[in-house]
Structure 1
């Protein structure tokens, strides 16, 4: 089928956008336009406008924008071609002719839809007839109200191998087998697939029955039986209740994934309508993509047992390659042994909402899972944790998100095994002085290549000063272990001394300065350490025993940040300058000027710090 721009333009022209949107949104006349509270996000005052003359809607609050076709795909959740078909039917327009094979497939599917719809109606009739008493009793015990059962089209399949087949005999066995309603084994007589089960229709995004889930009424296995894949039904691409949940989900700004049919039904009955469920399998890539079309961070709420938690972890791992800026998952952790159905029936909607508000980010779930995988009492086990976390992060497709995960995992690892670490670039300013903090988030070292020391005299003094300060204050080493370990010093003896200082201090965190000096001396660092500790050799508060201890620690913290920040800034400035030398680029010029200003600020602050400390000493 070929949809020309002329056809689509004519379709939009024939569609009254306000009438279309007004079917589900209460519109108010506002001059030549219509206004309403936006259906795509929560708001109290109207910022959503519909313009029939121009044929578009726009929200000034969340920037939702589109035409009639976009409304059908975004708000109703329809595939593009289905949206066009529905609008064309309403507008009295004929769809362009399909190719012969496409027309045959469409006709065949239309016939199959008729079969599944007839089956759904027949199952519903049985539920409310004499045979359905036991199924109705099951629903009553589960707290499912009659109006809820009608809303979801629940039904009952009698415990017979031929009842459905006989009821739809005019359809013919071939179509009943093709839709999965009958089972055909070799050349034997086909028989009813669903017998003695509560029947739950599975619908596509247009609300058409395409398959069924059947729950056993009494004892027996399997507890739930789903239709097989058919020309209408692909369980890996379908989400139960998406047809009913898409609109409420866009309005609420969230979509919730639960494990099974009854969880969906119980939550919907409790007033949480934006809920869907996969169909007996782990979440697939196609299902995740559908969820992300509705909400940036779907909430995964699986049962509180071990199987539910494993399913949550499988969903987390499957999502990693597909993550993008702003696009993730969050996980609602239920009490052990409970599912959403149990929770809302015993404690009500408020209990569920309280858990949903505390949804755990994807990064937390991954960290907790790997951290709990084995005892971390040996270096080998800790190395294993670091390797596993790195493998997870490197599985993320988007480079920016991947770098953030690597950095976050590194920060957590350092905080766990390097003492009470403090994040660089987030310290409180020195209370006794008026100097401005050097720590800037946009100056953080971003690559391993950037972590090299420059060769200016000021940098050499800074490196020596930091090393002396660490020897004077060994309790500060574990706080900055991650940042220090990432530094690549160009001066060989100083680089070796830094490695030795870190190793010794982390091996015994109770060391004081004198003990550290003694160990360094016996390890061949006596001369270089003694030179650094001469009271008059370096102009910093943290290199002198006479300095205020609190001021010395604060200045040392700041100096370490400067030493880590400077190489990244120099590298970025060199790259911007190189781009400028190749060809003038306004963006590169602006970036170069910004970086030069930051470099000047850095140099000035360091010079002032050194002078102030020199005067104080």
Structure 2
């Protein structure tokens, strides 16, 4: 198709780049695909092509009562440059077509099919995978031609949404490839709206190790024309200087609001609330909230309360430690006074009391000496190093020790540690371990 080749050459594209993106041409006819797939009158052939979005079927009926309805089937894409849309595996799942001459629509996409969904597909992602990893960022554009032209001009890490707003699924796909995303939009009002939708899609998926920026080109330029006019180094520079996510957040929240008035600041809070609520509780959200509080003459606490971001402390779970053996009284404060159940306990060194939560009993003291030996060794591992070989062997066999050997080993351990003491048992009960005096 000479017209198609001349058009692509006029856009500065080489045969190599056209081959890489598998660019093609749909001839100007109504039944061009019949030459490949067979007659459209064959319902099986037509069904496959209709499901794939390659055919359009219109129902025409006569005005006469009882007249038979006839179906007209014709090609969806006619006289257009064709851009195959591939999934991450490189399989073609849809097409985009750009008209060669004047006419509408300028770009035409495949309809939603069982294989193709615009909200879950990015043009050029399959071709750009390696370049994205090498460049460590992805550039998101608005059109097919931007992607192909940028690849020709030295920016092969570009992808494009398919005539639809950026979705959360788009962002997830990109973040699987890289931690840095730069969205490129036209500087007009439509570009601003598209950028805001991209921001809203990104906020719920943000984390502190991700970086997202927004690039707004002059209204008279798209990425292709900007690079051709100012050169690749100039385009690299504006990419590096693109607006950060937080800066764009503040711009969206405060646009058309006068921050010098209470009303304007309140309206800014109102605009920022759904954006803040959509973010996970990460450090970036905290920083944005603090900065927004400064700009609106508020405090972070006031802004948190307004947005409903303040999280009430979790209630303390009250646990009962009582059982038939009543072992808890032995694991309480010691210090020369009476050992009373429920009293706070304190460490022997420093004499600093540990605040005990009201109505919560301290942990149970195990009555089995072998178990206590193991607990002492876990809490004070240096004691195990001080044991001789025989006693270390006894400690390893603690579960099999009888009371006499266990008591001897326990006394030896506690003699080396001034943080705990052996408390004699009362009324025939075995001794236990408590806090040292």
When normalised by structure 2's length, the TM-score is 0.63
Alignment of 1:237-256 (within 5 A): 237-256=120-139
Provide the residue aligned with 2:51 in structure 1: 178
- Equivalent positions of 1:109-120 (< 5 A) are none
SS at match of 2:156: coil
Task: Quote the residue 1:207 is aligned against.
Answer: 90
Q: Is the 8 A contact 2:293 2:300 kept in 1?
A: no
The CA distance in 2 between the partners of 1:323 and 1:578, in whole Å, is 39
- Residue 311 (structure 1) shift: 0.5
- Which structure dedicates a bigger proportion of its chain to helix? 1
**Structure 1 segment 505-520 matched on structure 2, within 5 A:** none
Distance 2:8 2:281 in 1: 46
Classify 1:391/1:210 alpha carbon distance in 2 versus 1 (closer, same or farther; 3 Å). Answer: closer
Give 1:359's match in structure 2, choosing from 228, 236, 242: 242
1:153 aligns with 2:153: no
Q: Cα–Cα, structure 1 residues 583 and 250, in superposed 2: closer, same or farther, change >3 Å? A: farther
Shift of 1:188: 0.6
**Quick check: which has more Rg, 1 or 2?**
2
Change in 2 beyond 3 A, CA 1:207/1:391: closer
Q: Secondary structure at the match of 2:185?
A: coil
State the shift of 1:259 in Å.
Answer: 0.5
Alignment of 1:379-390 (within 5 A): 379-390=262-273
Report the Cα offset of residue 399 of structure 1. 5.4
CA shift, 1:371, in A, is: 2.7
**Match runs of 1:31-430 below 5 Å:** 132-169=1-38, 172-186=45-59, 188-398=71-281, 400-414=283-297
Distance, in Å, in 2 between the alignment partners of 1:581 and 1:252 is: 59
d(CA) in 1 for partners of 2:132, 2:119: 21
Contact 1:325 1:400 in 2 (8 A): yes
From the superposition, tell whether residues 192 and 383 of structure 1 become closer, same or farther in structure 2 (CA, over 3 Å): same
Distance in structure 2 (CA, Å) of the matches to 1:335 and 1:303: 7
The corresponding residue for 2:381 is none
Q: Look up the match of 2:420.
A: none
SS at match of 1:210: strand
Task: Find the residue that maps to 1:185 and give its secondary structure.
Answer: strand
Q: Does the CA-based 8 Å contact 1:282-1:314 persist in structure 2?
A: yes
Task: Give 1:578 deviation, angstroms.
Answer: 6.1
Which runs of 5 or more residues in structure 1 are unaligned?
Answer: 1-131, 419-444, 449-575, 585-617
Q: Is the 8 A contact 1:202 1:240 kept in 2?
A: yes
Q: Is 2:26–2:79's contact at 8 Å kept on the other side of the alignment?
A: yes
Per the TM alignment, residue 447 of structure 1 is displaced from its structure 2 partner at its CA by: 6.0
Separation in 1 of the partners of 2:182 and 2:205?
16
Q: Is the 8 A contact 2:83 2:97 kept in 1?
A: yes
Give how far 1:206 is off: 1.5
Q: 1:583 to 1:342 in 2, by over 3 A?
A: farther
Q: CA deviation at 1:378?
A: 3.1
Does the CA contact (< 8 Å) of 2:185 and 2:195 recur in 1? yes
SS at match of 1:214: strand
Find the residue that maps to 1:183 and give its secondary structure.
strand
Q: Post-superposition shift, 1:332?
A: 1.7
- The whole-number CA distance in structure 2 between the counterparts of 1:399 and 1:217 is 48
Distance 1:363 1:577 in 2: 42
Instruction: Go from structure 1 to structure 2 and tell me whether the alpha carbon gap of 1:162 and 1:324 turns closer, same or farther (over 3 Å shift).
Output: same
**Aligned pair in 2 of structure 1 residues 446, 304: CA closer, same or farther (>3 Å)?**
closer
Shift of 1:328: 4.7
Is the partner of 1:283 in helix, strand or coil?
coil
Shift of 1:394: 2.4
Please state how far the C-alpha of 1:401 moved relative to its aligned partner: 4.2
- Summarize deviations over 1:351-400 as a string: whole Å, max 9, x none: 21011111211110121233332344532122212332244222323355
How far did 1:196 drift?
1.1
Deviation at 1:402, TM superposition (A): 3.3
Deviations 1:499-522 (A, max 9, x none): xxxxxxxxxxxxxxxxxxxxxxxx
Show structure 2 runs of 5+ residues with no match: 60-69, 303-353, 365-437
Q: Root-mean-square deviation (CA), in Å? A: 2.7
TM-superposition CA deviations, 1:270-327 (whole Å, max 9, x none): 1111111111100111111101111223111122322112211111022222222323
CA distance in 2, matches of 1:577, 1:407: 33
Q: Give a deviation string over 1:211-250, Cα, whole Å, max 9, x none.
A: 1100011111110000011122111111101111111111
Contact in 1 for aligned 2:289/2:300 (Cα 8 Å): no
Within a 5 Å distance, the mapping from 1:486-501 to structure 2 comes to none
Change (3 A) 1:577 1:288: farther
- Residue 174 (structure 1) shift: 1.9
Query: Would the aligned equivalents of 2:86 and 2:93 in 1 still touch at CA under 8 Å?
Result: yes
Contact 2:208 2:282 in 1 (8 A): no
State the TM-score, normalizing by the size of structure 1. 0.45
Native 8 Å contact 2:122 2:161 kept in 1: yes
* Alpha-carbon distance between aligned partners in 2 of 1:247 and 1:578, rounded to the nearest angstrom: 58
